[in-house]
């Protein structure tokens, strides 16, 4: 007796996973990373991992979207703030976050460009990269050295990772498409 396989299809679009950040008590949804954004993060994680394998720094690479609670004590707001950086590096036993990479949130770009740099700097993050995939721009903040004046990279150059010695990343490679679609 021949069995027939039944194929079930649905006209409903597949729901993308979302992540919720809280800034001053207000919830902001972020979409799951796909396409070029995923390529960028995959490249960055791979290069950092290679650097860690050869240089063996004591820093730790955190998982994407690991919650980063912001201490609001002593600020003008007492409302909860929890950020979800796509990439972050910690150091020390207390696992102090020292480097964060954020891809611009298309639904809430003001958060990425204006709110988050201040929040991260207040928490002791030494370096923040804001990456705008569509415009192929990398903004690098070295808070201890330059404050809130970022270096802006928008052409084929090598970008120094300030928290490490002799670690450069290629602007061209950051934006190179690796997807098979």
The Cα 74–Cα 50 span in angstroms is 40
DSSP 8-state assignment for residue 12: S
C-alpha distances (whole Å) from 136 to each of 103, 131, 168 are: 11, 8, 17
With beta carbons less than 8 A apart as the criterion, state whether 137 and 156 touch.
Answer: no
- Average pLDDT of the chain? 86
Chain segment 102-148, per-residue pLDDT in tens: 999 988 999 999 999 999 999 999 999 999 999 999 999 999 999 99
> In this structure, how many other beta carbons lie within 10 angstroms of the beta carbon of residue 129?
23
Averaged over 86-109, what is the pLDDT?
Answer: 91
CATH architecture of the region 35-62+85-174: Alpha-Beta Complex (3.90)
- Please report the pLDDT score of residue 15 as a whole number: 63
8 pLDDT exceeds 50? no
Q: Which helix (H) or strand (E) holds 49?
A: helix 35-55
180 pLDDT exceeds 60? no
With beta carbons less than 8 A apart as the criterion, state whether 23 and 112 touch.
Answer: no
With beta carbons less than 8 A apart as the criterion, state whether 121 and 137 touch.
Answer: no
3-state helix, strand, coil in the chain (%, to 5): 25, 30, 50
Averaged over 9-29, what is the pLDDT?
Answer: 77
Residue 85 pLDDT level (bands cut at 50, 70, 90): very high
- Please report the pLDDT score of residue 149 as a whole number: 95
Q: Which helix (H) or strand (E) holds 127?
A: strand 127-132
Which one is predicted more confidently, 152 or 164?
Answer: 152
- pTM, two decimals, is 0.85
The ranges assigned to domains in the chain are: 35-62+85-174
4 pLDDT exceeds 60? no
12 pLDDT exceeds 70? no
Percent of the chain with pLDDT over 70: 85
């Amino acid at each position: 007796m021949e069995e027939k396989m039944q194929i079930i299809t649905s006209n409903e679009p597949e729901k993308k996973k979302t992540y919720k950040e809280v800034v001053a008590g207000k919830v902001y949804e972020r979409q799951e990373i796909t396409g070029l954004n995923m390529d960028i993060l995959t490249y960055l994680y791979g290069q950092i991992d290679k650097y860690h394998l050869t240089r063996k720094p004591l820093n730790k690479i955190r998982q994407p979207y690991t919650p980063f609670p912001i201490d609001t004590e002593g600020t003008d707001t007492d409302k909860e703030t929890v950020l979800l950086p796509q990439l972050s590096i910690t150091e020390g036993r207390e696992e102090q976050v020292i480097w964060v990479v954020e891809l611009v949130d298309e639904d809430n770009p003001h958060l990425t460009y204006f709110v988050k740099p201040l929040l991260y700097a207040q928490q002791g993050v030494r370096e923040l990269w804001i990456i705008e995939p569509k415009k192929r721009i990398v903004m690098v903040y070295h808070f201890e050295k330059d404050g809130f004046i970022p270096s802006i990279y928008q052409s084929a150059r090598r970008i120094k990772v300030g928290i490490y010695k002799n670690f450069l990343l290629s602007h061209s490679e950051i934006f190179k498409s690796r997807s098979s679609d």
